[in-house]
Amino acid sequence: MSITLPRIVVTASRGEAVAEYLDAIREAGGEPVRVEPGDPARALLDDAAGLLVTGGVDVDPASYHASSSTFVTSAEPERDVIEIDALHAARERGLPTLCICRGLQIANVAFGGTLLADIPDHFGEETTIRHNVRNPDGRTERGLIPEHIVAIDEAAMLRRIVGVEQLATGARHHQAVDRCAGELRVVARTADGIVEALEAEFNSPFWLAVQWHPESTRDLDAGASRAIFGAFVRAAASLR
C-alpha cells in the first residue's frame, strides 16, 4: 500500500533552488512543492497540507508602507505579493505554517506589522550580537553563532518543540521586526532585543515563524532544528 506524504508548498525567489528547505521537508516526511513569483501559489494551497515561507532577499519597505531605504538593496516586490497572499490563504484554510528568516519578516508584514530596515543602522554601537557573520573567505557563516542565543518564552509552542529555554542558533539577516503585528505574538528574542520567533494569536493547528535558519543547522544543534521541521510536518500530516 502506498503512503501519501503531506504536500508542503515552499516559497522561493524566482530561479532560487532552496535545496536545504526542500531536503528538510523530505527528511521530516513531507513532499515539498516549490513555488515562485508567477506560480499560482493560492491555487496550489488547495491541494496542500502546509506552507513553508523561506528566507532570501529583503522585504520591500513599500510592503509595509515605509519609505525606501538605502539599506534595502535586493528586494523582490513580486515575491512579497505572492507570499502575503499565500500566508492569508493558509490562514483561511487552517493550514500549518512555518516561516523562516525573511519568512518571519514577511509574515509580520502580512498581518500588519513593520520592520527595521537595517539592524546596525538602527542600533548603532548598541548592537551587541552578530546577526550576520562573514567568514574570512567572504562567505556568510551558515552554522551556529555561539553568542546568538535565543531565549524562548516558557509558554511558547516553540519551547515545547525544542525542549529548552535557550538555544544557540545561526543567523543571516540584517532586517528585523519593528512593530509586531497585532495577530502575532513575540515568543523569543536574543539578548539585544531582536525578535527571533513569532507565534499566531489566531487559531491554527501549527503556526511558527523563526528568524534563524534551522534548515542549515539540522546536524549542529542536538536535534532542535529537526524537531521544528518534524513538528511542522506532523501537523500537516494530521490534516490528511
Please identify every residue annotated as catalytic.
101, 213, 215
Of the candidates 200, 182, 169, 216, which has an alpha carbon nearest to the alpha carbon of residue 51? 200
Of the candidates 208, 14, 19, 12, which has an alpha carbon nearest to the alpha carbon of residue 107? 208
Are 186 and 197 in contact, with CB atoms under 8 Å apart? yes
In a 10 Å sphere around its CB, with 0-12 CB exposed, 13-18 middle and 19+ buried, how is residue 26 labelled? middle
SS3 track for 40-84: CHHHHHHHCCEEEECCCCECCHHHHCCCCCCCCCCECHHHHHHHH
Of the candidates 110, 167, 101, 108, which has an alpha carbon nearest to the alpha carbon of residue 140? 101
| Whole-Å CA distances, 87 to 30, 80, 92 | 19, 11, 9
In a 10 Å sphere around its CB, with 0-12 CB exposed, 13-18 middle and 19+ buried, how is residue 139 labelled? exposed
